[in-house]
Amino acid sequence: MTDAGLWAPNWAAAWAAAPESPVVAGAAMLAGAALGAVFFGGLWWTVQRGAASAAPGRWFLGSLVLRTAIVLAGFYVVGAGQPVRLGLCLLGFLLARAIVLSTTRPTPAAAAPPVSRAPPCA
C-alpha cells in the first residue's frame, strides 16, 4: 500500500505544513519583496503611461484592480494561514516599497524648476 501523497505531492499543502525555518522565512520575505516590486513598480509604470494617455482613468483603474488582485493572491498563497509568514511577507513588501521609491525618485537636478532669466519688463 502506497501513500498517494508521496507520488503526487501537493506543493500548497507542503508549504502550509512546513515548519518555520530560516529558509521558509527567507522565502516568505523574498516573495513579499517580489509582490511589492510588482505592486509599486506597476504603480510607477502606470503613472508614467497614464499621465500621457488620452484616457488616464482606464489606466489607473485597470492597474489598481490588476495590482491589487496579484498582491492579494500572493499574500493568500504565501501566508498559508501562518501569521509569521504573512508578517514576513508584509515586511518584504514594505522593503520593496522603499527600494522602488529610492530608485524611481527623480534626481534633485531633474526635480528643480528651470532657471528663469530676468523678466522682460525689468
In the chain, domain spans: 22-103
Q: Whose grid coordinates read 501523497?
A: 5
Contact partners, residue 73, CB within 8 Å, separation at least 6: none
Decide: pTM greater than 0.75: no
Q: Quick check: 28 and 85 in contact, CB under 8 A?
A: yes
pLDDT recorded at residue 16: 61
Identity of the amino acid at 59? W
List the chain pLDDT tens, one digit each, 122 residues: 455 555 545 656 665 656 678 888 899 999 999 999 999 999 999 998 888 888 888 999 999 999 999 999 999 999 888 899 999 999 999 999 999 889 888 777 666 666 667 666 76
89's grid cell: 511577507
pLDDT recorded at residue 108: 73
